[in-house]
A and B are shown apart, each in its own frame.
Chain A
Amino acid sequence: MYAGKIVEMGPVDEIYGEPQHPYTKFLISSLPKIGDKEKKGSISGKPPSLVKPPAGCRFNPRCPFMMEVCKVEEPVLKEVRPDHHAACHLLG
């Protein structure tokens, strides 16, 4: 969930193993884990205002893969696998 919208949902294992949405991907790669001393980053930028969220995809100002369409059109949840949905314009 990001800025009040579900960006991805599905089986926990699958989301952890193969996240589809750029936000989920980042979130999971940035989680520290016992046994892994590597420095973890945080997503640059800050969570958007919920009163006036960004137009289009709410994650677009922080997304490294942002395209023109992301600024105007809000992506809808699409089924990427059985029972696994994600809302991102990258996922055709």
Chain B
Amino acid sequence: MSTLNSSILQIKDVTKVFKLGGLLFGSELSAVDHVSLEVGREKVLSLVGESGSGKTTLSRIILGLIEPTNGQILYEDLDIRNAKGRQLRRFRKEVQPIFQNPFETFNPFKRVDRYLLGSALGYKVANSKSEARRIVSEALDIVGLSYTMVEGQFPHEFSGGELQRVSIARALVTNPRLLIADEPVSMIDASTRMGILNILMDLRKRFSMSIVYITHDLDTAYYVSDQIAVMCRGCVVECGDVEDVLTDPVHPYTQMLLKCLPEPDPTRRWEGHIELAGLEVKEYETAGCKFSKRCPNSEDKCLKERPPDVEVESRSGYRFVKCWKCVREGV
């Protein structure tokens, strides 16, 4: 699957088991379940799936914020679990997050320009205040803002879209190679969302960055990405070139997501959760295919045994689907 150094990030058989509390005390849930994926150099990989499919958990594992129960994350051949000292600092600079809610990214009581200068000094990308200011100005220019626009301002003085731009600038201060953007536009005003997505696409072109874009929204995933991985209860059930997967989905779960796209209502679709809360834990506990309880093609085997990855023929790279029906009938 991998050719040497064609990818910047390798996710190798990663699993994260959470122990549940409350009513379900004592039980466990694999929020990420044997996931293997690669992010190509200068490529955008989208992670999509309904609410509670493990997207955020996986993104936090990639960022090193939570430790996987099993498996490995390799960033440029560096196993991040073993990274220390200089290597760890390099990883933290080069892999930067962008979160859903920009108002939570910033300290509400701290002026935004100070926060940005602090980042530049803290990551030691600048050695003096004047150098920090130059780096921060450059980062703000890239996202279509300027230093004078943010100087002396507090986070609440910005609109959501503007502050999300500032948070992208914050990520750019360290000159990252890989951005992990978890629902970066789902809270942004509809009229400015495309501006933010276009910034991300420019970054990839102008600065050769790679991006992991996490979303519920298949249309924006199609718009920004090269590759797509579809997650269902911790498992990647279908993965491949975005054009292939979204215009010709093979897994019944992907087909359902495409059908369930909420009515084209620009104000509603972005909040569109297709949630089935009661089912969620039951599906996580299924020994077989995680979608088998809802799948129209389900057979006994689907409920009992985990399906293997089945390769799907594609002219644009490796594509697979995790489905017993494809084993039975071929693809």
Task: Tell me whether chain A's interface is mostly helix, strand or loop, or mixed.
Answer: loop
**A46 interfacial by beta-carbon distance below 8 Å:** yes
Whole-angstrom CA separation of A34 from B247 in the bound complex = 7
Ordered by A's residue number, 19 sampled pairs between the chains whose C-beta atoms are within 8 Å are A2-B191, A23-B191, A26-B191, A27-B190, A27-B191, A31-B266, A32-B197, A32-B219, A34-B247, A35-B222, A37-B222, A37-B223, A41-B194, A42-B192, A42-B193, A42-B198, A46-B159, A46-B161, A46-B192
Bitwise, A11-52 to B at CB < 8 A (1) or not (0) is 010001000000100111011111101011111001100000
Contact A33 B194 (CB under 8 A): no
A46: B residues at CB distance < 8 A: 159, 161-162, 192
A26: B residues at CB distance < 8 A: 191
B191: A residues at CB distance < 8 A: 2, 23, 26-27, 42-43, 47
Sample of 13 further A-B pairs with CB below 8 A, known A27-B191, A33-B222, A46-B161:
A12-B263, A12-B264, A12-B265, A30-B194, A31-B266, A32-B220, A32-B222, A33-B219, A34-B218, A34-B219, A41-B198, A42-B198, A47-B189
Q: How far is the CB of A66 from chain B (nearest CB, A)?
A: 16
Q: How far is the CB of B322 from chain A (nearest CB, A)?
A: 22
Most B CB within 10 A of own CB, among A26, A27, A32: A32
**B130 interfacial by beta-carbon distance below 8 Å:** no
- Total interface residues in chain B, CB < 8 Å: 25
Q: Which residues of A contact B (CB under 8 A)?
A: 1-2, 12, 16, 23, 26-28, 30-35, 37, 39-43, 46-47
The one of B193, B246, B263, B267 that contacts A34, using a Cβ cutoff of 8 Å: B246
Smallest CB gap from B201: residue in A: A39
A42: B residues at CB distance < 8 A: 191-195, 198
State whether A1 and B267 are in contact (beta carbons under 8 Å apart), knowing that A34-B219, A34-B222 are contacts in the complex: yes
